[in-house]
Amino acid sequence: MKSQYRVVVIGGGVVGASVLYHLARYGWTDVCLIERDVLTAGSSWHAAGGFHALNADPNIAALQGYTIDLLSEVEAESGQSIGMHMTGGMHLAGTPDRWEWLQANYRTFQSIGIDDVHLITPDEAAQLSPVLNTEGILGGMWADREGYVDTTGTVHAYAIAAKKRGAEVIEKNRVLELHQVPGGWQVVTEQGTVSCEHVVNAGGLWAKQVGRMAGVELPVSPLAHHYLITDTIPQLQGLERELPMCVDLEGFTYSRQDQQGMLVGIYELTPKHWMMDGAPWNYGVELLQEEPDRIESELCHVFKRFPVLESVGVKTWVHGAFTFSPDGNPLVGPVRGKPGYWCACAVMAGFLQGGGVGKSLAEWMIHGETEADVFGMDVARYGDYAANKTYIRETTGQFYSRRFVMTYPNEQLPAGRPLKMAPAHDAMRAAGARWGESWGLEVPLYFAPEGFEEHPSLRRSNAFDLVAQEVRATREAVGLLDISGFSRFEVTGPEAAAWLDHLLAGRLPGPGRTRLAPMLSPSGRLKGDLTVFNWGDGIWWIMGSYYLREWHMRWFADHARPGVALRDISDAVVGFSLSGPNSRRVLEQLTEGPISELPFMGCGRFDIGLIRAHVGRLSVSGALGYEINCTAAEHVALRRMLLAAGADLGIREIGYEALGSLRLEKSFGIWSREFTQIYTPAQTGMDRWIDWSKEFFGSDAARAERDGNGPARVIATLAIDAEDADASGYEPVWQGDRLAGYVTSGGYGHSVGRSLAMAMLDREAANVGTDLTVHVVGKARAARVIAPSPYDPQGKAMRA
């Protein structure tokens, strides 16, 4: 072991080995991996080793596809057998909704370029798995690239391939302490102290402790998981091909052949946490005592699905721990305030996701950003609230127990809620608010009469008419929306304007004005669709998406400069927006100031009733609108005053479901849908807000795109001939038989009476009038490209 490395990776499981391999593959060879015991001693050695392409997040599904393709490459490079069995696999559905869900997922795979997936009938499933009882099965989804690997062999293959490229692996050497020092980190180990620029927490079951060594509380917990391996099954002898992987979505089980027996794994409905503060340091290649009584109902189901299991014994029980994050996805990336400290943990499906995690983290560390959109596994998708132990227990347990439970697009899950609530939350709840959640904050989705209960559905919800009424009220009178769910950052200091001017690609607004401001990465891809307020007197606000607070704060911190003070004021400053033709009249009843003179995209301080408020004239709804910002202590009073002032003007409280419809009618994009960190300004139309006369972060790449041939794909608006369901995202869009793109978001435009969507399309397919086809809940629907902003295309309403 040397005294200094560029990178030290802590943890010798499949994730740590993959990170080491990718760093060396991309040219950073002065790297080492330090393992407290031996490689695989943790979760990796006892993992079932299965891999499949299915994931609820298409971006992560694509990275899983990368991992699958990489495995055989690493085997060849290392010379180490990984025992790869490419058996193919199927997911089976036993309810109409689940079958529809699989059909929709099949189309999602097509949209992201995974073309070795197709739907199968129950008879086809029986042919693929002769020991399968298809009673109750309605259909399934088959994937060619599914199977399993030898877990120990795979970890060693990554490590050997990394060593061949110059990396070092150090076993039997526990990390004791981490110390942040100028220019990097000191890693104190049993064999001595190592200095490095970067340290990677790939600690697996010990990720919690490795985080705490650096003063980082990670939202991660181990949970106990069962699988069993049977004795020899006579019916498997002599089969022409190995049984495929099989996920029984109704039985919460997965299975595959294991030599001449079967492996059966269970995601229990009664999850069990284990060592929430991290595994003991002397734990490694042990297992937990099996608890068959806890999985009795799941075992009964799998015995009915595979009757051959009823007549054979259990050869091996495996009851071991894996680490989970609140949503089940990995925790990857840098931590704000800890330069050079990186996370690569909570990868509960390490042999499936480890390759993609290693690739993305190595790209991030070396190039400053990733090729793929990895927000779904970015550690910054959570804030300090998620480090609470009760929150971790509830959310990780919820994910585990729902591993094979279908979640509907309009379903709200209860774990870890309610946590953060706007001051007027109880008053809005009394008025009928139904709630969603954003970064721990309860946000109103719509308002409903007492006794109303929304039914989870893949199709239009029974709240459809309620949302339509809120849209109508906004278009015809005035809608009142709680905007506590926006992020707000205050920027001050002598260098504030210069810093903002370089960080943001748009022209800064003058005093008393606001502007939309794209923020770019060095490669010219988007890092934010922000709104900048210049309140005068050297005070600026940046507003964005509430759930991106930590993500943006990390970016701001990475590019901080002297003379600039930035504060996250998102919880201290809240507010309401007014949208609709009567919104000005409501405010005029509450202020003697010149509110009627405030221009479109103007901002200023106004007395709104008793409140000294920050008011901006802008609207995501495309109607005449105002955003009224107040302190948290004034939130309740502001709501009361606005409702009273609008009582004779048709005011109605609305939620974010209505806002979603309103913004689609204006072709207004939102982050995580039309705007993501893998799209460029020209793809999304955000280039219209760029100030090309200045130098800004990412300006060289943005100009290269502008002056070149332009993007291959662009955002367009679609009208879809839908019936009782609307597109929601990642549905494939076809031009004839050719895949032309995919839906970024969709819904129903209640004002225009159309099913609408926005889609990322090949440029030649994005021309207005082009006839296309979109799969909605798995069914082909005619669609056509329409001009942007089907409602009020000239924007007269919001400029009135």
Cα dihedral 774, 780, 784, 790, rounded to 10, equals: -70
Beta-bridge mates of residue 316:
229
Distance from C-alpha of 294 to C-alpha of 184, rounded to nearest angstrom: 47
User: Which pTM does this prediction carry?
Assistant: 0.96
Residue 273 confidence (pLDDT): 97
CA nearest 27: which of 368, 363, 373, 372?
Answer: 363
Residue 593 confidence (pLDDT): 81
Residue 205 confidence (pLDDT): 98
213's tokens: 């060594």
Asked whether the beta carbons of 658 and 470 are under 8 A apart, the reply is yes
Q: Residues near 243 by Cβ (< 8 Å), separated by ≥ 6?
A: 87, 129, 131, 236, 255, 256, 257, 262
Distance from C-alpha of 433 to C-alpha of 182, rounded to nearest angstrom: 50
pLDDT band with cut points at 50, 70 and 90 for residue 280: very high
Mean pLDDT score, 92-98: 93
Q: How many CA atoms lie within 13 A of 242 on its CB side?
A: 21
Asked whether the beta carbons of 776 and 731 are under 8 A apart, the reply is yes
Q: What percent of the chain is predicted at pLDDT more than 90?
A: 94
Asked whether the beta carbons of 277 and 304 are under 8 A apart, the reply is no
Amino acid at 601: M
One-letter-per-residue 3-state SS of 570-629:
CCCEEEEEEECCCHHHHHHCCCCCCHHHCCCCEEEEEEECCEEEEEECCCCCCCCEEEEE
DSSP assignment letter at 174:
-
pLDDT at 268 over 90: no
237's tokens: 């002898």
Mean pLDDT score, 348-353: 94
Return the higher-pLDDT residue of 406 and 210: 210
pLDDT averaged over the chain?
96
150's tokens: 């030898």
Q: In this structure, how many other beta carbons lie within 10 angstroms of the beta carbon of residue 101? A: 21
Residue 398 confidence (pLDDT): 97
Q: Residues near 253 by Cβ (< 8 Å), separated by ≥ 6?
A: 247, 264, 265, 266, 267, 298, 301, 302, 305, 404
Residue 251 confidence (pLDDT): 85
Cα–Cα distances in angstroms (integers) from residue 416 to residues 204, 399, 446, 521, 770, in the given order: 23, 12, 21, 33, 46
Mean pLDDT score, 394-410: 93
Q: What percent of the chain is predicted at pLDDT more than 70?
A: 100
Mean pLDDT score, 621-626: 97
pLDDT band with cut points at 50, 70 and 90 for residue 59: confident
Distance from C-alpha of 582 to C-alpha of 469, rounded to nearest angstrom: 16
Distance from C-alpha of 79 to C-alpha of 677, rounded to nearest angstrom: 37
Handedness of CA 445, 450, 455, 461 (dihedral sign): negative
pLDDT at 541 over 80: yes
- The pLDDT tens digits for 480-534 are 999 999 999 999 999 999 999 999 999 999 999 999 999 999 999 999 999 999 9
CA nearest 148: which of 314, 259, 19?
Answer: 259
Beta-bridge mates of residue 772:
783
Q: 413-418 contacts: CB < 8 A, separation 24 or more?
A: 415/326, 416/326, 416/391, 416/440, 417/442, 418/442
Tracing tokens 């995202």 back to the chain, one arrives at: 729
Beta-bridge mates of residue 491:
540, 566
- The pLDDT tens digits for 477-493 are 999 999 999 999 999 99
Residue 112 confidence (pLDDT): 83
Return the higher-pLDDT residue of 581 and 250: 581
Asked whether the beta carbons of 403 and 328 are under 8 A apart, the reply is yes
Residue 622 confidence (pLDDT): 96
Residue 238 confidence (pLDDT): 86
- The pLDDT tens digits for 180-220 are 999 999 999 999 999 999 999 999 999 999 999 999 999 99
404's tokens: 């094979």
- Which DSSP string corresponds to 214-243? TT-----EEEEEEEEEES--GGGTT-SSPP
The number of angstroms, rounded, from the C-alpha of 517 to the middle of its chain's C-alpha atoms is 23
φ/ψ (deg, to 5) at 422:
-65, 155
Cα dihedral 680, 686, 688, 694, rounded to 10, equals: -60
Amino acid at 282: N
φ/ψ (deg, to 5) at 54:
-70, 130
Residue 55 confidence (pLDDT): 73
Q: Which domains does the chain have, with CATH numbers?
A: 4-332+338-365 (3.50.50.60), 429-449+465-485+571-672 (3.30.1360.120), 488-569 (3.30.70.1400), 673-786 (2.40.30.110)
Distance from C-alpha of 113 to C-alpha of 108, rounded to nearest angstrom: 9
- Which DSSP string corresponds to 424-444? THHHHHHTTEEEEEETTEEEE
Cα–Cα distances in angstroms (integers) from residue 391 to residues 69, 221, 549, 769, 782, in the given order: 36, 11, 19, 49, 44
CA nearest 216: which of 112, 342, 67, 123?
Answer: 342
Asked whether the beta carbons of 276 and 121 are under 8 A apart, the reply is no
The angle, 0 to 180 degrees and rounded to 10, between the axes of the packed helices 151-164 and 58-78 is 70
pLDDT at 53 over 80: no
- The pLDDT tens digits for 682-740 are 999 999 999 999 999 999 999 999 999 999 999 999 999 999 999 999 999 999 999 99
Q: 335-338 contacts: CB < 8 A, separation 24 or more?
A: 335/214, 335/216, 335/379, 335/554, 336/380, 336/550, 336/553, 336/554, 336/557, 337/557, 338/180, 338/214, 338/215, 338/216
pLDDT at 63 over 90: no
Asked whether the beta carbons of 227 and 318 are under 8 A apart, the reply is yes
62's tokens: 């694509």
Asked whether the beta carbons of 181 and 28 are under 8 A apart, the reply is no
295's tokens: 């999985």
Burial class (CB in 10 A: 0-12, 13-18, 19+), 487: buried
Mean pLDDT score, 607-633: 97
